[in-house]
């Protein structure tokens, strides 16, 4: 990595799989039992707030039963040790990267441990279940909702992510199927700006053909090997 200074790492559900959090599109995926259209759109939240809140309450509660794995810990070590620019962009809404110690981290699809006011945009910590209908204490104009980027909503920090990709020397994608945009397009963007591109995934993904190199295997083995 001698000529590399700026690194962008994109992580997906596969990085948390070995911690026991189900991925979205694999067997036993999170959507089983719930059509994701029923829980992951703004329309679903309006139509059935109790169902949507319960879905995220259960997932939030489950965070207490999982721990960061070797992949999260290796990325946190990289974050602490890397002297150049580094940004870990996670699509995951769990808190395992930060619990492993990563600091240069951005949650582009929101966070289970955060609540969002749809009226004023304030975000606040959400550790215990808040009943549907709990009003925003900052503006009082709307009910707090899970701080999750639903389909059709703009992911967080897109300008910053795109600017960072433009400066990247290396883009590394870990444990994501490449099925959901705009994250699925980051490899092409980074490549077009001249970054080297590496994919670490259990199996070939929808975007594998866009990477200069793909290494296949579990993140808990591949990520420490790459970092060390
Ligand atoms: C392992 C492993 C191990 C397993 N080790 N690996 C038509 C064409 C193009 C786009 C669209 C379209 N129609 C609609 C759209 C846009 C839409 C979209 O992409 N839809 C697709 C379904 C087609 N996107 C959006 O709506 C986004 N917003 C948007 O586009 O705004 C407009 C915009 C315009 C211009 C610029 C920017 C924006 C919002 C997307 C929000 C996604 N939200 C979710 C739900 C979060 C809440 C929740 O958790 O409940 O985010 S969906 C879900 O998918 C979640 C994930 O972050 C995301 C990605 O999934 P991920 O992480 O890749 O998981 P999996 O399960 O798919 O894959 C896991 C991988 O790991 C697999 O490859 C395994 O092999 C691997 N693996 N074990 C290593 N041990």
What percentage of residues in the chain have a pLDDT greater than 70? 94
Complex ipTM tops 0.90: yes
| 42 annotated as ligand-binding | no
**Residue 136: is its pLDDT beyond 60?**
yes
**Residue 213: is its pLDDT beyond 60?**
yes
Per-residue pLDDT, averaged over 137-143, amounts to 89
Which residues constitute the domain of residue 54? 22-65+110-148
Q: Which of 39, 68, 180 to mutate to test the pocket of ligand 1 (most atoms within 8 A of CB)?
A: 180
Of 89, 123, 148, the residue that ends a domain is 148
Q: Which atom of ligand 1 approaches the CA of 24 most closely? A: 66
**Residue 35: is its pLDDT beyond 80?**
no
Q: Look up the pTM and report it.
A: 0.96
Is the same domain home to 71 and 136?
no
Is 207 touching ligand 1 by the criterion CB < 6 Å?
A: no
Instruction: Kindly report which listed range (5-19, 36-50, 156-170) carries the lowest average pLDDT score.
Output: 36-50
Is the same domain home to 96 and 44?
no
Question: 76: pLDDT confidence band, cut at 50, 70 and 90?
Answer: very high
In whole angstroms, how far apart are CA 126 and each of 40, 67, 146, 190? 18, 19, 8, 34
Q: How far, in Å, is the centroid of ligand 1 from the Cα of 92?
A: 9
Pairing of β 105-107 and β 86-90: parallel
CATH of the domain at 180: 3.40.50.1220
Is 91 touching ligand 1 by the criterion CB < 6 Å?
A: yes
**Residue 42: is its pLDDT beyond 60?**
yes
**Residue 25: is its pLDDT beyond 90?**
no
Is the same domain home to 12 and 97?
yes
Q: Is 97 a catalytic residue?
A: no
| 139 annotated as ligand-binding | yes
Q: Which atom of ligand 1 approaches the CA of 205 most closely? A: 73
Q: How far, in Å, is the centroid of ligand 1 from the Cα of 178?
A: 7
Q: Which atom of ligand 1 approaches the CA of 93 most closely? A: 49
Is the same domain home to 77 and 173?
yes
Q: What is the pLDDT of residues 157-199, one digit of tens each?
A: 999 999 999 999 999 999 999 999 999 999 999 999 999 999 9
**Residue 32: is its pLDDT beyond 60?**
no
Which one is predicted more confidently, 132 or 126? 126
In angstroms, how far is CA 63 from the centroid of its own chain? Answer: 14
Positive or negative: CA dihedral 31, 175, 64, 52: negative
Q: How far, in Å, is the centroid of ligand 1 from the Cα of 137?
A: 31
Is the same domain home to 167 and 207?
yes
Q: What is the model's pLDDT at position 160?
A: 98
């Amino acid at each position: 990595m001698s000529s590399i200074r700026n690194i962008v790492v994109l992580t997906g559900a596969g990085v948390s799989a070995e911690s026991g959090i189900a991925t979205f599109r694999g067997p036993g995926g999170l959507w089983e039992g719930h059509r994701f259209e029923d829980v992951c759109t703004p329309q679903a939240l309006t139509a059935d707030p109790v169902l949507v809140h319960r879905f995220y309450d259960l997932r939030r509660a489950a965070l207490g039963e999982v721990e960061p794995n070797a992949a999260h810990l290796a990325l946190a070590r990289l974050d602490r040790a890397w002297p150049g620019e580094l940004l870990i962009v996670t699509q995951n809404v769990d808190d395992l990267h930060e619990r492993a110690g990563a600091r240069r981290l951005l949650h582009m699809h929101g966070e289970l441990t955060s609540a969002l006011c749809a009226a004023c945009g304030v975000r606040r910590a959400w550790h215990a279940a808040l009943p549907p209908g709990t009003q925003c204490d900052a503006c009082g104009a709307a009910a707090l909702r899970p701080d999750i980027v639903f389909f059709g909503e703009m992911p967080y920090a897109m300008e910053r992510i795109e600017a960072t990709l433009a400066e990247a020397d290396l883009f590394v994608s870990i444990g994501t199927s490449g099925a959901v945009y705009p994250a699925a397009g980051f490899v092409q963007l980074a490549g077009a700006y001249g970054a080297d591109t590496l994919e670490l995934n259990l199996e070939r993904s929808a975007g594998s053909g866009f990477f200069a190199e793909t290494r296949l295997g579990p993140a808990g083995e591949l990520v420490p090997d790459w970092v060390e």
